[in-house]
Structure 1
Amino acid sequence: MNDTTPNPLLSEWTTPYGVPPFDRIRIEDYRPAVERLIAESREAIDRIATRPEEPTFANTIEALEFAQQPLERAMTLFYNLNSAETDDAMQALALELSPMLTDFSNDVMLDPRLFDRVKRVYEAAADDEFEGLSAEQRMLLEESYRGFVRSGANLDTERQTEYRAVTNELARLTLRFEQNLLAATNAFRLHLTEPDELAGLPEAVRDAAAAEAKAAGLSGWLFTLHAPSYIPFLTYSERRDLREKLYRAYNSRAYGGEQDNSRIIVRIADLRLQLANLLGYRTYADYALENRMAGSAERVNGLLDELLERAKPHAEREVATIRAYAASRGFDGTLMPWDWAYYTEKYKAATYDFDDEATRPYFRLERVQEAMFLLAGRLYGLSFKENKEIPIYHPDVRAFEVYDGSGGDDRPMAILYIDYFPRPGKQGGAWMTSYRQAYRDPETGEAVIPIVSLVCNFTKPTEKRPSLLSFSEATTIFHEFGHGLHGILGRGSYPSLTGTNVRRDFVELPSQILENWVAEREFLDLWAAHYETGEKMPPELIDRIEAARRYLAAYACVRQVQFGLCDMAWHSIAEPLDEGCDVAAFERRATERTQVMPRVEGSCFSTSFGHIFGGGYAAGYYSYKWAEVLEADAFARFRERGIFDPATAQAFRSCILTPGGSEHPMMLYVRFAGHEPTVGPLLEKMGIGDGAKGR
């Protein structure tokens, strides 16, 4: 590529289906493209703000929806790659681009001419009770107006200046938080050279660690803080001293040292409070939850309190059972968190005759992928075809065309990328994202298909074994595929309202409900087979999976409530925190009543709590429990009528997946289920309640 080559970020993408031309984009392309696209977006916005005609839905609200699309296309690409395939140069560039983009966003949302037009359309439509607008158009109008108000459009000049400063600093700090977390995660390596240090580890775990060491130019075995390495080590290693070392490293990431996030999260919490106060809210939680399905901090805290009240006594009994079991095996001392995975796995194997590792031979990655596609076919009539001509951003990534068998169309309805394996430039965990949401082109009226991506961190195949997933890992990829189906099946005219662009505490319903099928005998019988012999998963192993589903359910619930309460505490402060705030002490006070295991001195999960300080879950981590209530209630309907029942699946598709954010989520849910959800089915699923209590 030479200097005369057009910048691909400024050109039409002639790739198949308009996917990003990953192979043509250089790091040097981003900054000049962003500068030009911001300038062009300013011109487009200015044309809307200065139109001589009276403001209408079409010339103001709809025009705004598409005015920044070229810039959004480039930045969606950049930020997705900054999570999945980053390096030092890209992270440095992210810090450079952040203030430019925040300034531009503020200029748009704080433009009095633009807000005046939006407000006039909103008030005129409200006076006419929104007659003449479809439900989707009405939602876009309401979201547009509310977006301006929640972004400071009603503030006076002095407070708008303060708002700009706050949002700029927040954008920079959340990026810095993520960069520190990735660096801290990558910085720790447990390099083992003696065979006795591997005691208890399954062969597959040893092979993966040997491959990791070889890739790093080392002999022996290398373990890291990435999930495919960290979780099996804590689960199976007989070396308690090494388990402790790994646990302490993981649970003190970015807490002290060169990548310390302590001061950053205190500052983020204070800035979010300042932003909320500017907009007239007492706390950031009040501000954030106004725009969520839950609606208020009181309702969120009520759910968390009820779950804790119901689950904690059961969790304490579960912990007592594991303590007694460990003692029966000769353990002498205090059971610590780095012992938990080890002894709970041993107890599960002894009590339920179930070992998560025993499921791996039946969950070869390729078979799990086939199973995901099979389920999407059975439920929604979808089919998937790999296309190796579609550009990808890393050799590990696979690209698929998605077809809708129910529509009779020979053109794909979506493009799906799947990126399975860890690498240094990828954030930990698993997530779904989109490179493009579905929408209808405002000029041609043609439907534009979505581009969806699933990103995971599973064990890579080695020279000896293919990539084999545990039952819990298989559940993880089905979870993300549930998000993916939300993006794939979402349809509508406006990209900001399609796919996963829904309220944060509704977005986990499609993902969490899909996890249920992984443990259903009727589904497993269709595909789960031993990777060497081809024999189906034995019925007795499926029975053990089913029996073990409720294992430690109360403990897991309390753990999630702990994260939710910590999140709510950081975002419910009504006064700024002291600059020298002890973040570990703050976390301890917020979560004290959830503690069922000894607290580890020197640990602090807040500094690595990426969901709330780097992602979009601030005052929203409760969403996982909220969505569990929804999915347990919804899956009960599938259980009643059959897990592949076409009518129930079609109702879920048409009421939940396809509409996206075009209507209020409770309206969508009631349309599907016929009633508002209650907490009863979740308690029944966990085996800890009679289902009598509602939310």
Structure 2
Amino acid sequence: MSTNDRRKYYDKVGRRNTHTHNFAKKVRICMDLFEHYVEDVNIIEQLPQSLVYMMADYPEHYEKGPWQVELYDPIYSHFMSHCPCRITRWNIWYAKVNVSSQYHSEQFLNNNETISDVRAQRWGLANKLGYANFAEMVQHRTMAGGVNHVIEVLETIKTVAYPSAQQELATLQDYANNREFFQGELKVWDYAYYKTQREKDIVGSIADRTIPKTSANPKHPGKPWYDDACDQAIDDRKKSERWFNQHPTQDNLNIFVFFTLTHGGLAGKPNEHLGKNLSLG
């Protein structure tokens, strides 16, 4: 490559990087401009507490709100998985898929032209190095070895994954119809929510069938001989100990020793030598 060609090549690399940076910048600005506050307490009550905490403008008082939905993850994905209101889910999804689209042209945040510029610069780089397109240039340096091989692998995966995906969608559709008398066809903004709800029901059903409600072998078996008299004996011993600590006389010590020897076994093994030769002198 001549010096002039090398200069042109690096010039294209610089312009491609600039367009790529502008693309990401516009996306970030659009997502930052988006605002949607959830005012329906019924929705908040059905969201995980961790999600409510992340949505709160004041985390130290997250239970009081206000709660704002963002287009950034993890808030976006978690909200779409747990929000019970379909209209709200659609609104959040619609804002997400239209980030930096033609709807933002007035704010100079439309990425349509930026995408065309990035593609043009990529094609120019690939053409300069002798490749038919940018994908061929990238794949030539990877383990795939070429675009055709990647397409073959994807088609192989599709033959197995696509029927499974169709079956999963049909299962979700039946679940939605049976669970909430859902009318119509599930849309993209419904999939995450109903998938999460179905998983909860499955896990809950398995737990109900397999986890016993009470333990068959209690850790601390009851003592049939323990009655109110035992409680009174323990109470007498504790009172005598407190009284002796407040008034350390020989008589009070003897009383404490008496209750300890006679009732100590209720709380633990009594000391058989506690009362022998014990005095305050």
Aligned pair in 2 of structure 1 residues 313, 219: CA closer, same or farther (>3 Å)? closer
* Aligned mates of 2:5, 2:101 — CA distance in 1: 34
* Aligned mates of 2:60, 2:114 — CA distance in 1: 36
1:276–1:283 contact (8 Å) kept in structure 2: yes
* Aligned mates of 2:169, 2:119 — CA distance in 1: 33
Q: Which residue, out of 149, 153, 167, partners 1:299?
A: 149
1:289–1:296 contact (8 Å) kept in structure 2: yes
Map of 2:99 onto structure 1: 253
2:131–2:137 contact (8 Å) kept in structure 1: yes
Q: Which residue, out of 179, 191, 196, partners 2:37?
A: 191
Residues 1:169 and 2:15 are matched in the alignment: yes
1:289–1:295 contact (8 Å) kept in structure 2: yes
Q: Which residue, out of 258, 265, 270, partners 2:120?
A: 270
Displacement of 1:214 in angstroms is 7.7
Deviations 1:501-548 (A, max 9, x none): xxxxxxxxxxxxxxxxxxxxxxxxxxxxxxxxxxxxxx97xxxxxxxx
Deviations 1:236-267 (A, max 9, x none): 11111111111111122222313222211121
Deviations 1:15-34 (A, max 9, x none): xxxxxxxxxxxxxxxxxxxx
Q: Which residue, out of 76, 87, 93, partners 1:241?
A: 87
Map of 1:339 onto structure 2: 190
Aligned pair in 2 of structure 1 residues 279, 207: CA closer, same or farther (>3 Å)? closer
Displacement of 1:213 in angstroms is 7.5
User: Which structure has the higher relative contact order (CA within 8 Å, separation 6+)?
Assistant: 1
Deviations 1:467-490 (A, max 9, x none): xxxxxxxxxxxxxxxxxxxxxxxx
Map of 1:284 onto structure 2: 134
Amino acid at match of 2:92: L
Deviations 1:86-125 (A, max 9, x none): xxxxxxxxxxxxxxxxxxxxxxxxxxxxxxxxxxxxxxxx
Amino acid at match of 1:282: A
Displacement of 1:283 in angstroms is 1.1
* Aligned mates of 2:58, 2:155 — CA distance in 1: 43
Aligned pair in 2 of structure 1 residues 288, 307: CA closer, same or farther (>3 Å)? same
Displacement of 1:200 in angstroms is 2.3
The secondary structure found in structure 2 opposite 1:238 is coil
Amino acid at match of 1:200: Q
Aligned pair in 2 of structure 1 residues 235, 354: CA closer, same or farther (>3 Å)? farther
1:10-25 counterparts in 2 under 5 A? none
Displacement of 1:212 in angstroms is 5.2
Deviations 1:279-300 (A, max 9, x none): 1111111111111111111111
Map of 1:528 onto structure 2: none
Map of 1:228 onto structure 2: 74
Displacement of 1:192 in angstroms is 2.3
Displacement of 1:199 in angstroms is 5.1
1:495-510 counterparts in 2 under 5 A? none
Amino acid at match of 2:95: A
The secondary structure found in structure 2 opposite 1:275 is helix
Using the size of structure 1 for normalisation, the TM-score is 0.27
Please, which runs of 5 or more residues in structure 2 have no aligned partner?
212-281
Amino acid at match of 2:187: M
1:286–1:296 contact (8 Å) kept in structure 2: yes
1:192–1:222 contact (8 Å) kept in structure 2: yes
* Aligned mates of 1:213, 1:180 — CA distance in 2: 28
1:142-541 counterparts in 2 under 5 A? 154=1, 156-198=2-44, 200-211=46-57, 220-256=66-102, 257=104, 258=107, 259-329=109-179, 330-353=181-204
Aligned pair in 2 of structure 1 residues 201, 184: CA closer, same or farther (>3 Å)? same
1:198–1:206 contact (8 Å) kept in structure 2: yes
Displacement of 1:211 in angstroms is 4.2
* Aligned mates of 1:336, 1:159 — CA distance in 2: 50
* Aligned mates of 1:203, 1:281 — CA distance in 2: 52
2:57–2:66 contact (8 Å) kept in structure 1: no
* Aligned mates of 2:60, 2:33 — CA distance in 1: 17
* Aligned mates of 2:194, 2:95 — CA distance in 1: 20
Displacement of 1:325 in angstroms is 0.8
Q: Which has the larger radius of gyration?
A: 2
1:209–1:222 contact (8 Å) kept in structure 2: yes
More helix by share: 2
Displacement of 1:193 in angstroms is 2.9
The secondary structure found in structure 2 opposite 1:227 is coil
Aligned pair in 2 of structure 1 residues 250, 207: CA closer, same or farther (>3 Å)? same
Deviations 1:176-235 (A, max 9, x none): 1121122122221211234234352123322332245889xx952111112132122111
Deviations 1:551-578 (A, max 9, x none): xxxxxxxxxxxxxxxxxxxxxxxxxxxx
The secondary structure found in structure 2 opposite 1:173 is helix
Amino acid at match of 2:123: L
Deviations 1:626-662 (A, max 9, x none): xxxxxxxxxxxxxxxxxxxxxxxxxxxxxxxxxxxxx
- Aligned alpha-carbon RMSD (Å): 2.7
* Aligned mates of 1:325, 1:192 — CA distance in 2: 27
Amino acid at match of 1:250: K
* Aligned mates of 2:153, 2:205 — CA distance in 1: 32
1:199–1:239 contact (8 Å) kept in structure 2: no
The secondary structure found in structure 1 opposite 2:99 is coil
The secondary structure found in structure 2 opposite 1:325 is helix
Using the size of structure 2 for normalisation, the TM-score is 0.65
* Aligned mates of 2:58, 2:86 — CA distance in 1: 22
Percent of aligned pairs with the same residue? 24
- Counting matched residue pairs gives 203
Displacement of 1:307 in angstroms is 0.6
Amino acid at match of 1:296: G
Amino acid at match of 1:164: Y
* Aligned mates of 2:58, 2:117 — CA distance in 1: 37
1:29-44 counterparts in 2 under 5 A? none
Please, which runs of 5 or more residues in structure 1 have no aligned partner?
1-153, 356-538, 541-695
Displacement of 1:337 in angstroms is 0.9
* Aligned mates of 1:261, 1:275 — CA distance in 2: 21
1:213–1:220 contact (8 Å) kept in structure 2: no
